[in-house]
Amino acid sequence: MTIQIKATDLYKAVKAVKRTEYSRLPVLNHARIRLTDEGMKITTTDLEKPLTETVHFWGNGERWETCVPMINRIKSGPYRDERIHKYYPFADSLKVAAEYRETLELEFIEKIQLLRIKAGTSITEFKCIDAQEFPPC
C-alpha cells in the first residue's frame, strides 16, 4: 500500500495540527492519518478540540488509516538533575524532507502497523498504533 505526496505539503499540514503538550494518554500523542477521496486527512485531538488538515496525494485508490507518533519524551541528565525533553519525530523528519523539496513515498504495512517513508535514498520507519484506538472526532 504505497502513495506519493509532496513533503512540503505534508509538513505544512502536520505543522498545522501539531500539539505541544504531552499527554498521559498515549493515543493523544499521535495523529490519525486517513486516506479518503478528498485526500490524506491528518487529525490530532486533546479530547476537546480536534485539529484536521487535508493534503492531496497520489495513489492507486489506496485507503488505509493509522496513528503516527507526533510527540515523545525522553529523560536525560543525572538523577537529581534529570530533565524531560520533548521531541516530534514525525514532524522533524518531514521538515528535513520538505527543506529538500522531496516527493515522499509512503508505504503502510497494516499487519504490523508500520509506516515507511522514502525520500530519495533515505528511509524512515514509524511504529504506529491502530486507528481504532484514536478517539472519535
C-beta atoms surrounding 13 within 10 Å: 22
Which residue, 63, 72, 22, 13, is CA-closest to 43? 13
Domain that holds residue 43: 2-133
- SS3 label, residue 118: strand
Q: What is the pLDDT of residue 77?
A: 79
Q: What is the pLDDT of residue 137?
A: 79
Q: What percent of the chain has pLDDT over 70?
A: 100
Task: Specify the higher pLDDT residue, 133 or 84.
Answer: 133
Residue 24's pLDDT band, with cuts at 50, 70 and 90, is very high
Separation between Cα atoms, residue 136 and residue 133, nearest integer Å: 9
pLDDT in tens, 34-87: 999 999 999 999 999 999 999 999 998 999 999 999 999 888 877 777 788 889
Q: What is the pLDDT of residue 22?
A: 93
The mean pLDDT value of the chain amounts to 94
The domain total for the chain is 1
The yes-or-no verdict on residue 125 having pLDDT over 90 is yes
Q: Any idea which residue has 486533546 for its cell?
A: 46
C-beta atoms surrounding 92 within 10 Å: 12
Find the CATH number of the domain harbouring 76: 3.10.150.10
What pTM does this model have? 0.91
Separation between Cα atoms, residue 99 and residue 96, nearest integer Å: 5
Q: Are 44 and 50 in contact (CB under 8 A)?
A: yes
